[in-house]
Chain A
């Protein structure tokens, strides 16, 4: 069964304190792994897509990496505005479709000034 597990469930950091969020997955026919950011009461905001092991993507203070079994979202010197829930999702490989996303439960990040 396709599955995505994120850890930790919640993470509290001081401003400037770097850390990493983990996303482990099992899926047949991975077509892509996605990271989203979700603020309270809003829809998920797309951050990155990773397609193959070894791939890395960066955006401001965020860097996403991918291995064959997991992905990491590294946050360097976070600021309070980085506080949000970060969602990881894998795109399943059902033929004849664009591919639905299977989401993890998310990591709620709080960054204190």
Chain B
């Protein structure tokens, strides 16, 4: 069974630009969540989607947004990039909804903002 896939794997942008990252969950998984990982803050929750609806959101500014499509694939967008947005962005999927259970992570997208 294929794991969570994320594209692109690496991205370099400049301040003020915007970026879109993509995530394809494990087949049959309908819940998708996004995390930001930095050396200083560790892994921090961005948002969670199920059935094309955002179900939960972390403490990030409105420049961070996301969506989920009918096939459970998800995208996240960051507008007006800042240097501090440089991080590893991780997508995770779960076959459950509302009952807890394991999240399986993808390899991440490494975003560098210059």
Chain A residues near B (Cβ < 8 Å): 31-32, 34, 36, 41-46, 49, 51, 87, 89, 91, 94, 96-106
Measured CB to CB, the residues of B under 8 A from A are 4, 31, 33, 35, 42-45, 48, 50, 55-56, 58, 90, 92, 94, 96-108, 110
Interface of A is mostly: loop
Contact status A43-B94, CB under 8 Å: no
A98 touches B45 (CB 8 A): no
Instruction: Give 11 pairs: A residue, B residue, CB < 8 Å, sorted on A.
Output: A34-B103, A46-B103, A46-B105, A97-B56, A98-B97, A101-B35, A101-B92, A102-B45, A103-B35, A103-B43, A104-B42
Other A-B pairs, 15, CB within 8 Å; known A43-B90, A43-B108, A98-B99? A43-B105, A51-B100, A97-B50, A97-B56, A98-B48, A98-B96, A98-B97, A98-B98, A98-B103, A100-B56, A101-B43, A103-B44, A104-B42, A105-B42, A106-B42
**Pairwise interchain contact A98-B42, C-beta atoms closer than 8 A:** no
CB of B3, distance to nearest CB on chain A (Å)? 9
CB-based contact B90/A44 at 8 Å: yes
Chain A residues lying within 8 Å of B35, measured Cβ to Cβ, are: 101, 103
Minimum-distance CB pairs A-B, first 8: A43-B105, A31-B100, A97-B56, A103-B43, A97-B55, A100-B45, A98-B31, A32-B100
